[in-house]
Chain A
Amino acid sequence: MVPLSWYILLSTVVFGIGVIGFIIRRNLIMIFLSIELMLNSVNISLAAFSHYLQSMTGQILVFFVITVAAAEAAIGLAIIIALYRHKPSITAEEVNLLKG
């Protein structure tokens, strides 16, 4: 059986990749995917904890996270499209109207 610590390690690494991706990536879609990576790393650790503790709460939360992530994807992509109509580009540098 795979020990709990391996799952936690995997989840931490995936979360770290997500955070780094969010910070260094310049493409809006890639930034968005980094956030999805962070959410799913949480799902890994929640499911692992849930199995380890023999409690259902973690798995219930996983389902909620998946649902909310789907809603978030719909709204996020809609916002990116709304922005794309003003300026046909999806790099973060082009989003520079507001500053100061």
Chain B
Amino acid sequence: MDLQDLRLLAPEIVFILFALILLLLDLMVKRKEVIALTGLVGVGISAYINYRLVKMGWLGGVLQDVFLFDGYSNFFKLIFYINLVLTILISLRYMKIEQTSYGEYYCLLFFATSGMMIMASAGDLIVLYLGLELMALSTYVLAGIIRRQRRSAEAAMKYFFLGAFSSAFLLYGIAIVYGLTGTTHLKGIASGLHELGLLNNPITLLGLVFFIIAFGFKIALVPFHMWAPDVYEGAPTSVTAFMSVGPKAAGFAVIGRVFFDAFAELDIQWSAILVPLAILTMATGSILALSQRNIKRMLAYSSIAHAGYAILGIITGTAEGLVSTMNYLMIYTFMNIGAFSVVILLRREDLLGEDLEDYAGLSKEHPVAAALMLIFMFSLTGIPPTAGFIAKFYVFMEAIYSGYVPLVIVAVLFSVVSAFFYLRVVMYMYMKEPGERVELSMSGGMGIALTITTIMVILLGIYPSLLLEFVRASVLG
């Protein structure tokens, strides 16, 4: 092994180092703002190192390619950095309101994010499994961090049991594939399956199904979604924002990696399995969201539906399709965290601010907050000129190019259904008479986060090539 290769691990090493620093800092400083600020500095340093490594063209694998530092993983790492920065910015005031201002919170966010980064870079199933567990174990605790709330503890428990259940399936899938090919290396699996003539073996297919079950749990594909609404509702809103984006994007990252690298020659089989799952996911997400009165629960079903749209790019099985999915995930990051930020804005000491009624007449008292929510809701629906339209447009276009026309028609129909519950929020804000007076819990960090998300949602809607060219460059080189 070459020690020089280890420099490609620098972003992850710095990240874990900062997670430990935050843990120690919590013992010494009382003010949580200091911890959050140090965290932001840590993300900045790590992202800068990552940027410098890419600029110097040091791409490649570490330790016999078990850890890959390539354009694909770096794009996902960018999503994770953005996700973490925005989450830290929106949590500061919110965690105080929830009286849960612990330093461990930031430390766990860092560990979860480093797990995601390891997942995105994994070139070997063992590394993939360890990254996934690092992410999952940290997010279980994050979901239950408001100890004095019963619903938070319940969310943590449901997330933990179903998450552990799914990782057992992942392990069994790994064991099957290892038994067949004798390796856990993704490239080795691909060549092993080809050379040993295992492509039409039913056991290979069983392994593939186990992988789809395990990853399906992480990205909340129906029928493996049952944890998502409960967990998203019970967890602290900032954590919900974090885990509706991070673990989902990480799940997509490993799906792209495992299916496109290891099972590339089985693309007909996994597309055939994913098509019905995608339809079910879009249907369940869109239809069940219609009856929700709690906005966090509604956004949970919406994020299930979005996973259904994003998977269309994977189903195509082409590199261009993968590009459209990654494009979707980046845009989804901004619009989803933006929407959750507005939900947090309404949270006060004496008001939960999660019921649809709390949004009644918001435009009269707080026109700016209502306008921002309007933009995010339009974007989540997919109405131009917001970024959400571009995201859906490219995914649908790639699916049509690959011949999945009926699937796209179904997707568009459910997209229309989803307009109903997104625009209902807008209707409440603009057309209902305000109830009791609502004070917003505004803060500096929140202002920055809302500005970033709004600008990106509009900018990427008007200049889609900005992001799309970047994704193309990172995947296709």
Contacts and interface: CB of A to CB of B under 8 A. Distances in A.
Do A and B assemble together?
Answer: yes
Interface of A: 8, 11, 15, 18, 22, 28, 31-32, 35, 38-39, 41-42, 45-46, 49, 52-53, 55, 57-58, 60-61, 64-65, 68, 71-72, 75-76, 79-80, 82-83, 85-87, 95, 97-100
Interface string B143-172: 010010011011111101100110010011
Contacts of B45: none
A20 to B, nearest CB: 12
A100 B292 contact: yes
B297 interface: yes
A76 B160 CA distance: 7
B183 A57 contact: yes
B140 A75 contact: yes
A76 to B, nearest CB: 6
A60 to B, nearest CB: 7
Contact of A82 (B144, B161, B175, B183): B144
A68 B150 CA distance: 27
Nearest to B145: A82
Contact of B150 (A32, A71, A86): A86
A92 B229 CA distance: 17
B175 A46 contact: yes
Contacts of A57: 126, 178, 183-184
Nearest to A73: B164
Given A57-B183, A61-B178, A79 B151 contact: no
B70 interface: no
B137 A79 contact: no
Contacts of A99: 230
A88 to B, nearest CB: 12
Q: Contact size class for B?
A: 35 or more
A37 to B, nearest CB: 9
Which of A41, A61, A80 is the most central at the interface, judged by chain B CB atoms within 10 Å of its CB?
A61
Contacts of A35: 161, 164-165, 168
B168 A80 contact: no
B150 A18 contact: no
Contacts of A38: 165, 168, 172
10 contacts: A39-B168, A57-B178, A61-B178, A75-B137, A76-B164, A79-B140, A95-B154, A97-B150, A97-B151, A98-B154
Contact of B161 (A31, A58, A60, A86): A31
Contacts of B176: 45
A98 B156 CA distance: 12
A38 B214 CA distance: 14
B129 interface: yes
A14 to B, nearest CB: 11
Contacts of A87: 150
B12 interface: no
A76 B164 CA distance: 9
B179 interface: yes
A28 B168 contact: no
Contact of B233 (A8, A65, A82, A98): A98
Contact of B165 (A22, A28, A82): A22
B192 to A, nearest CB: 11
B111 to A, nearest CB: 12
Interface string B366-393: 0000000000000000000000000000
Given A65-B171, A97-B154, A79 B160 contact: yes
Contacts of B223: none
A75 B150 CA distance: 17
Contacts of A15: 168, 172
